[in-house]
Structure 1
């Protein structure tokens, strides 16, 4: 049975978005002088600036199709799915490392699939169970490996804080993925414009928080360090927020919620790949087995939706 062209396009966009999002876990690691919240503000200030520049020529036309409910959704999606989520990710990365944080966040596909179990086009959970088990087992296996290999430096309370932040990021972005997909289903704007509108809203929120949370601290750094911070933030904003956000919105419109959730595993794989490259090593046998489980889970979910179609 051939896969429907819209599903192929949606999967391509979802995989590309996940690949772009892998860099978000490296950003906080490359800016150790900033807290997770401070780096999140820098990233989203850049995202807001990029979005304003790209959207300004069509601002009136795009806004004409928005309702009050759209603006309310944009406010909460930006606050919880961008600022709150990425502040938690950044803090988690700096406290317990890239691997542990990305692996805990890697359980997002399971929560999203569970949230979409009652949608009209949902595949029965009994058929999705093997896929979810593969994904869960893969994440658990890599998590066990990462935690058994790491020897965290510092007080135990920092590690607990990092784990709590990673768990908070897991739940906040799971909510975002579900809420964003359902709002996109009724919004009268393109997926690309919705991503830019989210950027404008997130940028405005970041601007309000920048003075109390960034102003005094940035004066304490030399020019070279500040330029490095801004370049890293701008790179993450452009690749993950502008490009990745537009690709993800397109995937959210074309794929069933449960399947789009499974595609989010690509983000975890991309983060792990970048981590291996950063550490200049190959994955171990245990890590390779876990990655195989993750890929198998996504492929199984695709097969279930193909049969459904």
Structure 2
């Protein structure tokens, strides 16, 4: 039986690497609604998280009773809401946003997530002064606008937003608020629960999310009266299991590891990697090269992350200089 160790010390390089890895895996989530477009978002969420829960149950095995004894009622209550807002509700809103508004529009809205998380994290005791974070937030906002400009105004023309695009925008905003709450709450839960490893927390999240998927499953079947072909069900199962393993299991594991290595103000910036990789996968899916504004967005995203890392490095040097002087 493995025992949890003390939380690791802050490690910016390793934390950024874990954040980039999580973003690379999570970016594939934006393609899932396109790969299984025959199925509505509720079906996609139920299938993905049911697979996630079953995989987590098989991996956690006999450790579950031990972990149950380590957690208090407050921890289980928090785990329920983190699973709901970070997985179940978020993925339904994200899938609806992609199907109704498109990948680019959804990426634009989700691209503002680092701003929200960084602003919330700037109140923490170990956070750099807000003025040092301002350049990073500026580049993040400019990059997000570059990402979605061509989606909202194709070919430089002023286009009115249709009902479908408006619905996609509203769903994307709901996903933005949902996952912002998860990112903040999950980071603080991991900081508090030093007797539970990040891997164990990921598996527990999978169990709770899988239980929520059992509730979603009857609703998904009820609101989807369409008769799907056998080949469509096979594709749906493949997408659900693939996203569960790649994004939920592996991506969440990297994110939890990163959350213990980085302060919350820098954690928010790591979400930009999901946006970056989602766009890259979107270009491959559309079989085209990025346009000038999209290339500019890449540069702004990189600048945003680098500025945020620099803002966190400088305060760490001051105590060392004082001890040497």
Deviation readout 1:193-238 (Å, 9 max, x if unpaired): 1011001001001101211322674772121110110100111111
Equivalent residues of 1:218, 1:226 under 8 A apart: no
Q: Corresponding residue for 2:152? A: 147
Aligned length: 303
Deviation readout 1:112-159 (Å, 9 max, x if unpaired): 0001111011011111101100010011112112222289xxx92222
Q: Corresponding residue for 2:53? A: 48
Q: Corresponding residue for 1:185? A: 191
- The worse-fitting range, judged by mean Cα deviation, of 103-112 and 55-64 is 55-64
What TM-score comes out, normalization by structure 2 length? 0.90
Deviation readout 1:227-265 (Å, 9 max, x if unpaired): 110100111111110000111011111101010100110
What TM-score comes out, normalization by structure 1 length? 0.94
In the alignment, the residues of structure 2 paired with residue 304 and residue 73 of structure 1 have an alpha-carbon distance, to the nearest angstrom, of 31
In the alignment, the residues of structure 1 paired with residue 225 and residue 29 of structure 2 have an alpha-carbon distance, to the nearest angstrom, of 21
Q: Corresponding residue for 1:207? A: 214
What does 1:149-188 align with in structure 2 at a 5 Å threshold? 149=154, 156-187=162-193, 188=195
Q: Corresponding residue for 1:37? A: 42
- The worse-fitting range, judged by mean Cα deviation, of 272-281 and 210-219 is 210-219
SS at match of 2:61: helix
SS at match of 2:290: coil
- In the alignment, is residue 118 of structure 1 matched against residue 123 of structure 2? yes
Whichever of the two has the greater Rg, that structure is 2
SS at match of 2:153: helix
Q: Corresponding residue for 2:81? A: 76
Equivalent residues of 2:269, 2:308 under 8 A apart: yes
- In the alignment, is residue 304 of structure 1 matched against residue 311 of structure 2? yes
Q: Corresponding residue for 2:240? A: 233
In the alignment, the residues of structure 2 paired with residue 130 and residue 5 of structure 1 have an alpha-carbon distance, to the nearest angstrom, of 23
SS at match of 1:121: coil
Equivalent residues of 1:134, 1:297 under 8 A apart: yes
In the alignment, the residues of structure 2 paired with residue 209 and residue 143 of structure 1 have an alpha-carbon distance, to the nearest angstrom, of 31
Where in structure 2 are there 5+ consecutive unaligned residues? 1-8, 317-325
- In the alignment, is residue 281 of structure 1 matched against residue 269 of structure 2? no
What does 1:250-261 align with in structure 2 at a 5 Å threshold? 250-261=257-268
How far does residue 62 in structure 1 lie from its aligned partner after superposition?
2.2
Equivalent residues of 1:101, 1:166 under 8 A apart: yes
Q: Corresponding residue for 1:106? A: 111
- In the alignment, is residue 21 of structure 1 matched against residue 30 of structure 2? no
How far does residue 160 in structure 1 lie from its aligned partner after superposition?
1.0
Where in structure 1 are there 5+ consecutive unaligned residues? none
Q: Corresponding residue for 2:323? A: none
Deviation readout 1:256-279 (Å, 9 max, x if unpaired): 101010011000000000001111
Query: Cα RMSD (Å) of the superposition?
Result: 1.7
In the alignment, the residues of structure 2 paired with residue 53 and residue 127 of structure 1 have an alpha-carbon distance, to the nearest angstrom, of 45
In the alignment, the residues of structure 2 paired with residue 122 and residue 291 of structure 1 have an alpha-carbon distance, to the nearest angstrom, of 26
Over 3 Å off, 4+ runs: 215-219
Deviation readout 1:160-203 (Å, 9 max, x if unpaired): 11100001111110110001101111112110110110010010
How far does residue 44 in structure 1 lie from its aligned partner after superposition?
0.6
SS at match of 2:192: coil
CA shift in 2, pair 1:218/1:60, >3 Å: farther
